[in-house]
Structure 1
Amino acid sequence: MEFTDAYKQTGPCCFSPNSRYLAVAVDYRLVIRDVVSLKVIQLYSCVDKISYIEWALDSEYILCGLHKRPVVQAWSLTQPEWTCKIDEGPAGIAYARWSPDSRHILTTSEFQVRLTVWSLLNTACVHVQWPKHASKGVSFTQDGKFAAVCTRRDCKDYINLLSCHTWEIMGTFAVDTIDLAGIEWSPDDISIVIWDSLLEYKVLIYSPDGRCLFKYQAYESGLGVKTVAWSPCGQFLAVGSFDQILRALNHLTWKTFAEFTHVTTIRSPCNAVVFKEVDEPLQLDMSELYLSDNFLHNIQGNCP
């Protein structure tokens, strides 16, 4: 195993989506290195210490979040002189993310007062009031044309569907949750899965027009859903629960067809192979090293 030289790092680091660049935060500086040679490609200076970084999907832009100041700064690799600074003022910025087209930045204010979409093309901005979460609760379709945003008002959870072209709200519908925890578009973009908080076991499948296609509840007592994930083909939905069981649902009938239990202790016999890397000094055995007679004869024959 080979290692490169050590480079200074005081904050987050992140590979670009195209795997060509590595962004490293060093205090208030953002260093962009080439992955192969580790040479510095670009060096940017922010107004304060960098708290988090995120690449755009096209790997041409990168944003930096500054927690000490409610500011987000964005930079361009192809246009080093181009800069962008987003300041929400007293509302603050709790989280920032890129849109699928890599030309819009979505920021969520402190206390989830509003979600703002900032355009890098014409400096326009669009507001969505009362987002449910700061760093989650937003899901995009695979083609990047629509976004589903979880909101909450009057003690009720709602789903807002936005067009990623104009960022206008295409529709809004209420969902049957007590405290909506997450949302995810299906890979085929024809359904949306949402799940309730861990205090209420409830997984709901909705169509984009607001119809509830199926409601799944494995049990009533105990902590509920821990995580939910679609299969890449969109035919299966995996639901991980706090009872340490993963349940797989079919997208046609939404019925459970498989259950997998995550045991806390692996008991023999089992086929698990565990490797441990041991750091030991290199020891060479020199006792069996010797010079052959032919080697000594050749040396004597070549002497003048």
Structure 2
Amino acid sequence: MDFTPIHEQSSSLVEFSPGSHFLLTAIRTRLVVRRSENLEISRVWEEPPSDSPPPSTSRDRQSSAGPDAWITHIGWSCDSEFILAAFAKKGVVNVHKMRDESWKATIEAGVEGLSRAVWAPDGRHILCFSEWGLRVTIWSLTTGGATYIQYPLHPERGWCFRKDGRYLLVAERVNSKDTLGIYDSSKGYQLARQFSLPTSSLSSLSISPRGNHVAAWENALEYRLFILTLTGHVVATFTPDHDAGLGIRTVSWHPGGSFLAVGGWEEKIYILNNVTWTPVAEIDLQARIPAGINIWRERFVSLDRSQSVGFLPYERLQTGVVPFVRRETGKPHPRTGVIQLDWNVDGTLLLVRLENAPTSIYILHFPGPEEEFDPRLRSVLLHSQSILYAHWNPVRPGVLGISCGTGGLYTWSNEWMNDEGEEDEMAECVKIPADNFQVRDIKWSPDGKTMVLLDKTDFCCAAEVKEE
């Protein structure tokens, strides 16, 4: 593994361009674009949060550059032509053009405020979510006009685009009822259809990869999931046969759209198919790991004391127990249940994390079209520290990156070859060659060749060294 020098960033705002050629970073009120292969600076913009002139003295500059004046959101357009920098506390979004450093557009949110700003899939519209769920404003860089959607339910999770970018789905509150609005991006985001949802208090929604079904589920008090078409027809309703106690925490579509994984506030995962929308598999994750499962445990060696060791392979155990945290039964939202369900790029592996097992990762094998349908637990990764983030490589289906807030990068891969020349898996920790650098999050480049390692105020890049 090869590491770059460490560079500064703020608020973990580091993003690869869609083509993986550039790396966009925010440093308080400054935007910096670097070339991803060597991190050389390509563009720099100093970002005053409005069209007001920059401070004339260093004292004025320090007073105006407090946390409230920092950049809160950044993003690339789909073609890497434009860059946005949002100042949520100031209600301002600045847009820059890569090929023309002098070009600039400014969006001012107004009295409704700004909570976040994101690009639409076409790269020529920006979605600005106001504070308190008042409305979504869709600004066009082409015409300068705006389209308004009133009363979105959840600016973080209550909306999504269809995979082709044609339709925008927004969960709204209309006449005190949960409502789904479908907006046509090809016609200036005109309302194409609007219908009431069967939910009483929607938690979130997700559209299938094929774009023909929408999954919508209730809040934590009720375990109910609805499958609807884009015309509003309720195809199916899923509720477990037993009393699950609380509702659904996370839902994840299989990349092919044929299955839907559902996890709640318990240690059970349901796999629904897209024909009957009933469970075709129920996977109960227990503390005691069954025989025949690959168990990998991080070695209890301090990274600070292993200056000469770059790679620390995990121990491979025959038996093991996942350390579960004691249930907090008296609290309304206990620290238990499924907090992450992620498929790898080809849908053959499913990553599962439980909040009451914060140091462990379950990896489930999911059969392909030519295999017998038998989803099962394949591997378990045991760590000494709580896992902060775990992300699949976006291109290589058998590579996983993990961060635990330590000075090491943790990886799991099924692309290794054993002594017999057969494919096998391997888990290891790679020490970061820097003092006082703790990996809090990782982000893969779109081409899967590089990853960004984020500390609280710094970042570096890591890439696998190919043997020639």
TM class by smaller structure? 0.7 to 0.9
Q: Which amino acid aligns with 1:113?
A: L
Cα 1:280–1:255 change in 2 (3 A) is same
Structure 2 partner of 1:245:
268
Picking from 90, 101, 107, the partner of 2:128 is: 107
Taking the TM superposition and a 5 Å limit, the aligned residue runs for 1:223-238 are 223-238=246-261
Q: Which amino acid is the alignment partner of residue 45 of structure 1?
A: E
Deviations 1:182-237 (A, max 9, x none): 11111111111111111111111111111101111114451110111111111101
Equivalent residue, structure 1, for 2:201: 179
Q: Which of 159, 162, 181 in structure 2 is aligned with 1:160? A: 181
Does the 8 A contact of 2:89 with 2:114 survive in 1?
no
Q: C-alpha separation between the residues in 2 aligned to 1:123 and 1:220?
A: 52
Is residue 116 of structure 2 the alignment partner of residue 95 of structure 1?
Answer: yes
Show CA shifts across 1:60-99 (max 9, x none): 2222221321112222212322212111111001121111
272-281 or 261-270, which moves further after superposition? 261-270
C-alpha change, 1:194 and 1:69, in structure 2 (3 Å) is same
**Are 1:200 and 1:220, in contact at CA under 8 Å, matched by a contact in 2?**
no
For 2:271 and 2:176, the matched residues in 1 are separated by: 31
Instruction: Give the structure 2 partner of residue 169 of structure 1.
Output: 191
Structure 1: which 5+ residue stretches go unaligned?
Answer: 284-304
Percent identical among aligned pairs is 31
Return 5-14 or 125-134, whichever deviates more: 5-14
- In the other structure, the counterpart of 2:23 is 22
Alignment equivalent of 2:306, drawn from 280, 294, 302 = 280
Distance in 2 (alpha carbons) for counterparts of 1:237 and 1:151: 24
Indicate the SS of the match to 1:260: strand
Alignment of 1:1-304 (within 5 A): 1-11=1-11, 12-47=13-48, 48-166=69-187, 167-218=189-240, 219-220=242-243, 222-264=245-287, 266=289, 270-276=293-299, 278=303, 279-282=305-308
Does the 8 Å contact 2:73/2:116 carry over to 1?
A: no
1:59 deviation in Å?
2.4
CA distance in 1, matches of 2:98, 2:244: 52
CA distance in 2, matches of 1:54, 1:182: 23
Larger Rg: 1
Contact 1:131 1:152 in 2 (8 A): yes
Report the more deviating stretch, 251-260 or 63-72.
Answer: 63-72
Secondary structure of residue in 1 paired with 2:172:
strand
Q: Which moved more, 1:255-264 or 1:273-282?
A: 273-282
In structure 2, what is the Cα distance between the partners aligned to 1:246 and 1:109? 35
Taking CA–CA contacts closer than 8 Å with sequence separation of 6 or more, which of the two structures ends up with the larger relative contact order? 2
Distance 1:8 1:274 in 2: 33
* Offset at residue 112 of structure 1 (A): 0.8
Distance 1:110 1:282, change over 3 A: closer
Q: Aligned to 1:111, what secondary structure does the other structure show? A: helix
* Counterparts of 2:214 and 2:82, CA distance in 1: 29
Is 201-210 or 15-24 further displaced after alignment? 15-24
Aligned residue in 1 for 2:62: none
Preserved CA contact (<8 Å) 1:101 1:144? yes
**Other structure's SS at 2:198 match:** coil
Deviation at 1:275, TM superposition (A): 4.0
SS at match of 1:90: coil
TM-score, normalising length: structure 2: 0.58
Which blocks of at least 5 consecutive residues in structure 2 are unaligned?
A: 49-68, 310-468
Residues 117, 127 of structure 1: 8 Å contact kept: yes
How many Å separate the matches in 2 of 1:115 and 1:271? 47
Mapped partners of 1:105, 1:15: distance in 2: 18
Alpha-carbon deviation of 1:171? Answer: 0.9
Distance 1:175 1:163 in 2: 19
Q: Is 2:82–2:97's contact at 8 Å kept on the other side of the alignment?
A: yes
Question: Equivalents in 2 of 1:264, 1:93: separation in Å?
Answer: 44
Q: For 2:296 and 2:117, locate their aligned partners in 1 and report how far apart those are by CA, in whole Å.
A: 41
1:266 is displaced (CA, Å) by: 4.3
Question: Counterpart of 1:245 in structure 2: which amino acid?
Answer: K
Q: CA deviation at 1:281?
A: 3.9
